[in-house]
Amino acid sequence: MITDLLTPLICPRFLSDERYRRGHVRIINALPGRRIMGLHVPDMKRLAKQLARRDDASGLLRGFVQEYATDPLSLSYEETVVWGLTLNALKCPPEERWALVRDYVPVLDNWGVCDTFCCNTKWASRLPREEVWAFLQPYFDSSREFEVRFAVVMTMCHLLHAEWLPRVFARLEGIGFDSVRSHYLSPKEARVRGVSEGVALGNPPYYVRMSVAWLLATALAKFPDETRAFVRRSTLPEDVKRLYVRKARESFRTRGVEAL
C-alpha cells in the first residue's frame, strides 16, 4: 500500500549482503508469507510521523484496514509497523484513537510489530490508568497469541506502578497459556516437518510466555521484593519462570539482582 514510500528507505546492506539479510529475517521471525523489505525502525518512525501530519492521515489508516481485510498477506512486515507508528503519531481524541487501536490489534502477528507499537504509545501515558487497564482486559482473555502479548506489553509500558502490582500480577496468573493459539510451530514440530520458518523459540505460545517474563524482569528492576515474592508463590508455568530468570540475568538493570 505504501511500498513506493518504503522502497527508498530499504537498508542497502539488506539488499547486498546475504548473511546480513538472513540474520535480519531470522530476528524478525515473521510467519510464512509475510514479506520483509528490510527497513530499520528509526526510518519507519520518521516516515510514520510524516504520514500522521498529512491531511488524509485518517483515510490512510482506513486504507490499511481495508487492504488487510481483503488480503492479510498483502501488507509487508514494514507496512504493518508503519501503520501502528502512524496511529501512535496521529493527533486525535482518545475515543478515536481507541477505535483505531481496535482495528489494529488483530493485525499483530509478530513480536516486532507488537512491541514496536506498544513501546511507542506515548499517548496512553497521558490517559487515566483505569481507562488503559479497562481497554486491555479483553485482550488478556484472547485466544490469539499476539493479542495477549499486546495486553502484557502495554501493561508493562504503562501500568507497572506500586499500587497496580496486585492487579497486574493477578492478571498474569489468569492468562490461559494452554488455550492461546499460536501459528508458530514448536521446535520439535519444526524438526519433524523439516521446516525453518514460523518456528517458535520455545514452547508455544512462546511470545506470550516471553512477554510475561519480560514484564516480570522489568518489575524486578522497579519492585524487587514484591516481584520475587510473587514469582515464588505464583502458579505461573515453570517455563515462564525460567524465562523470567533468564531475562533478569540478561538485563543490565537486573544483572546483579536476585531473581528469586
For residue 231, what are the contacts with CB-CB under 8 A and spacing of at least 6? 216, 241, 244, 259, 260
Model-level pTM?
Answer: 0.96
Tell me the backbone φ, ψ of residue 146, rounded to 5 degrees: -85, -15
Q: How many domains does the chain have?
A: 2
* Residues 141 and 33 grouped into a single domain: no
What is the amino acid identity at position 246? R
| Residue 116 domain flag | no
pLDDT digits (tens, 9 = 90+) for 145-183: 999 999 999 999 999 999 999 999 999 999 999 999 999
Instruction: With respect to residue 121, please indicate whether it lies within any of the assigned structural domains.
Output: no
Residue 196, in any domain of the structure: yes
For residue range 192-247, what is the model confidence (pLDDT) as tens digits? 888 888 898 888 999 999 999 999 999 999 999 999 999 999 999 999 999 999 99
Supply the mean pLDDT for the chain.
95
Domain assignment present for residue 118? The answer is: no
Within a domain: 80: yes
Asked if the model's pLDDT at residue 11 lies above 90, the reply is yes
**Domain identity same for 137 and 172:** yes
Count of residues making up the chain: 260
Residues 1 and 84 in one domain: yes
Do 205 and 239 lie in one domain? The reply is yes
Specify the pLDDT at position 255. 86
42 and 157 part of one domain: no
Domain limit, last residue, from 81, 110, 139: 110
Domain holding 149, by residue range, is 128-260
Report the DSSP beta bridge partners of residue 185. Answer: 199
* Cβ atoms 11, 40 nearer than 8 A: yes
- Residue that the C-alpha cell 490469539 belongs to: 144
- The pLDDT tens digits for 82-126 are 999 999 999 999 999 999 999 999 999 999 999 999 999 999 999
> Which DSSP letter does residue 8 get?
G
pLDDT for res 84: 98
Same domain membership, residue 187 and residue 80: no
Asked whether residue 44 falls in the same domain as residue 15, the answer is: yes
Crossing angle between the packed helical segments 238-250 and 206-222, to the nearest 10 degrees: 50
- Res 211: pLDDT: 98
Are 230 and 184 part of one and the same domain? yes
- Report pLDDT for 136: 98
- Which of 79, 110, 141 represents a domain boundary (last residue)? 110
